[in-house]
Amino acid sequence: MTPSTPEIVNDFEVRSLDTMCVNESQEQHPWWYNLKYLAVGLVFGIVFVKAEIISWFRIQEMFRLQSFHMYGVIGTAVVVAAISVALIKKFRIKTIHGETISFTPKKFNKGQIIGGLLFGFGWALTGACPGPLFAQIGTGALAVTVIVLSALAGTWVYGYFREKLPH
Amino acid sequence: MSRCENLLIGFFANRKYNEMIAWLQQPWPWYVAGALIGLIVPALLLLGNKHFGISANLRHICAACLPARIPFFTYNWKKEVWNLFFVGGILIGGWLAAQYLSNPAPVQVHPALAKELAGYGITDYTGLVPSQLVSWESLFTARGLILMVGGGFLVGFGTRYAGGCTSGHSIMGLSTLQWPSLVATCCFMAGGFLMANLILPFILQL
């Protein structure tokens, strides 16, 4: 039912509209090489819970300007990441497998405004962005799977109507 | 003498260990969390030229499970499997933190927020996820249904329409100095402010 080979046209679409979150590597490795990403995710998950980023209450405080916490977290993260990226670019640091690290420029489209606002609504409602949703399930809040399933439905519906939506 | 020393060292080491665990159990400050999250960006780049992002996983799952010949979902999702491992790690990390490092004290909330929430009958601060809003029972109430099903749908639809979420745009995009990501981040915040202050109060009253 599904073509297993990637289509060039679609790869272009992946790049032009959705460059974030896309695998840039050309390397072919056995599946267990992916466990290193599981390890990074593990640290991330612990930080999510321990810094209360997954807390519905913290998100509500953020959107009511009642707490600096979330602004501090995101601000520090951006600064640390920006310095790291600048260093990687300046010294042309390669991956541990010797591959060149690449960056794809992101193009502007109306989706960043309309979709951004819609995601903002969802963020304030659920009190979580996609990452924390998975950490919440891990902490035992199993009802959050309903939110994830609904988010999958939202993603699917977007894919279905994508050609008709303004971009 | 040496036994005495050993006991002393043992005592202090044990105290240090207990102190460390107690420190880890407290909510971590924003600068520790922010720095660790920021370091995920170079970690993923150095480990395999991977770009930090989470919401794309929802797309990969759609592509894997229900592509339905929609062009947006017909691509080689197996190449993106690393991202699913990453999210699997987040889930396990959440479990580990809850199991071994959980904070026994109730969640601290700004008094103004606590007062506002009490007006809607939300008084349970035992968990980071308020069980009075997000739970199986809550799914059968109007506000729970809107929050969980409606909110989830908006998260999935909105992030894909915007081409990323807080991680892909606000952290990865901003740190690589991409102005479209700044536009997206401003819109995330604007949407959140509108919902939390103007619309959510009516939903919570239901």
Name residues 4-23 of chain B within 8 A of A (Cβ): none
Tell me how far apart the alpha carbons of residues A81 and A85 are, in angstroms, rounded to a whole number.
6
* Parent domain of A128: 6-19+32-164
pLDDT at A35: 95
Name residues 59-88 of chain A within 8 A of B (Cβ): 59-64, 66-82, 84-85, 87-88
Q: Using the beta-carbon criterion (under 8 Å), do A138 and B178 form an inter-chain contact?
A: no
- CA–CA distances in Å: residue A136 to residues A49, A140, B3, B52, B108: 8, 7, 47, 20, 18
Residue range B116-149, pLDDT digits in tens: 999 999 999 988 999 999 999 999 999 999 999 9
> Does B44 contact chain A (CB < 8 Å)?
yes
| Number of independent structural domains in chain A | 1
> Which pLDDT band holds residue A34 (cuts at 50, 70, 90)?
very high
Q: How many inter-chain contacts (A to B, CB under 8 Å) are there?
A: 575
- Of B62, B28, B40, the C-alpha closest to B159 is B62
Residue A26 lies inside a defined structural domain of this protein: no
pTM of the predicted model as reported, rounded to 2 decimal places: 0.89
Largest Cα separation within chain A, whole Å, is 51
Residue range A123-164, pLDDT digits in tens: 999 999 999 999 999 999 999 999 999 999 999 999 999 999
Delimit the domains of chain B by residue range: 133-206
| A97, A113, A118, A157: best to mutate for the B interface, most B CBs within 10 A | A118
Residue A1 lies inside a defined structural domain of this protein: no
Tell me how far apart the alpha carbons of residues A87 and A57 are, in angstroms, rounded to a whole number.
36
| B55, B90, B188: best to mutate for the A interface, most A CBs within 10 A | B90
Burial category of B176 from C-beta neighbours within 10 Å (exposed 0-12, middle 13-18, buried 19 and up): buried
Average pLDDT over residues A36-41: 96
Smallest Cα distance from B6 to chain A, Å: 34
